Structure 1
Amino acid sequence: MYKFLSEDWIKAYMEEWNKNDKLKSELKDFSATIKYYIEGREDDAVELIVENGIANSAGKANGQAYDFEMWASLENWKKLATGEMGPKAAMLTKRLKFKGSMITAMKYMGPFEESLRMMGRVPTDWNV
């Protein structure tokens, strides 16, 4: 079990990402730096670096500018990971906050939704 959005958790998430052939295939032309954090805890943010659909690096965010940033309350992250709330609904209702190119996000909405559902595959300790 990994504490949600810890450095170990994001590394386990990277492994899940790279096991997902459909995700990698649909994102073969996508490269981005992505920052994730729990609302109000930006200092504890983690990052995922994706190059041509493959997650190449994961760890603690370092304060650089990111292509995409996503944050939500712990409760809403849990709802996303368990499938209780869908990614599109979460964004439309602002339960999942997002910073970055909306055009790019819409272009890759299918893989984006898959990447959020995939969070539920990481053994997670939600007591953070």
Structure 2
Amino acid sequence: MAQLFSAEWMNQLKDAWNADPEVSQKLADINFSSTISCGFKDEENPRGVFVVENGICTSAGDWNGEAPDWDMRAEMKDWLKWVEKGIGMMGLGTAYATGKLKFKVGDYSAMIKDPRMAGPFVKSFGLMQQVGADELG
């Protein structure tokens, strides 16, 4: 398995994303395009970046200064728990409400209220579980 948020891991997630019509096609249907970054709460900058154009992830890898539309942060132990066990809509809501999942950029509340975005967002965490991950060295 690749290390969480490494370029290799981000590209495995990209492949899983593009192969899953419940994510890529549903987001293509609403012309969803965004730069999504993710990393750890205690770090200034994100680790990985994921660029989506009309639902399809067109590039993924190490964050290199891109300005994100969405920047998700959590502690490593929480990311690894979600990657290992998955997380559903209720778990995501709890993680957000308790501060385990933070959005440095992006409006979680507006997104989660829009079923056209909420479903694929929750499903993307299932893709992380499908990919799996190793801790950072």
TM-score by shorter chain over 0.5: yes
Alpha carbons of structure 1 residues 56 and 84: separation in structure 2 relative to 1, 3 Å: closer
Alpha carbons of structure 1 residues 56 and 105: separation in structure 2 relative to 1, 3 Å: farther
The answer on whether the counterparts of 2:22 and 2:123 sit within 8 Å (CA) in structure 1 is: no
Between 1:99-108 and 1:48-57, the stretch displaced more is: 99-108
**TM-score (ref. length: structure 1):** 0.88
SS in 2 for 1:3: coil
User: Is structure 2 residue 127 aligned with structure 1 residue 115?
Assistant: no
The answer on whether the counterparts of 1:82 and 1:117 sit within 8 Å (CA) in structure 2 is: no
Name the counterpart of 1:24.
Answer: 24
Instruction: String of CA shifts for 1:39-81, please: whole Å, max 9, x gaps.
Output: 2234461100001111110011122321000010011111222
The answer on whether the counterparts of 2:17 and 2:57 sit within 8 Å (CA) in structure 1 is: yes
User: Runs of 5+ in structure 1 lacking a partner?
Assistant: none
User: Is structure 2 residue 107 aligned with structure 1 residue 101?
Assistant: yes
Name the counterpart of 1:11.
Answer: 11
SS in 1 for 2:111: helix
Cα RMSD (Å) of the superposition?
A: 1.8
The answer on whether the counterparts of 2:4 and 2:135 sit within 8 Å (CA) in structure 1 is: yes
Higher strand share: 1
The answer on whether the counterparts of 2:46 and 2:71 sit within 8 Å (CA) in structure 1 is: no
Tell me the matched-pair count.
128
Question: Superposition pairs for residues 25-40 of structure 1, below 5 Å?
Answer: 25-28=25-28, 29-40=31-42
Aligned equivalents of 2:63 and 2:72: distance in 1?
A: 12
The answer on whether the counterparts of 2:3 and 2:133 sit within 8 Å (CA) in structure 1 is: yes
SS in 2 for 1:87: helix
SS in 1 for 2:23: helix
Aligned equivalents of 1:120 and 1:12: distance in 2?
A: 11
**TM-score (ref. length: structure 2):** 0.83
Aligned equivalents of 1:20 and 1:93: distance in 2?
A: 30
Name the counterpart of 2:94.
Answer: 89
SS in 2 for 1:69: strand
Alpha carbons of structure 1 residues 43 and 66: separation in structure 2 relative to 1, 3 Å: closer
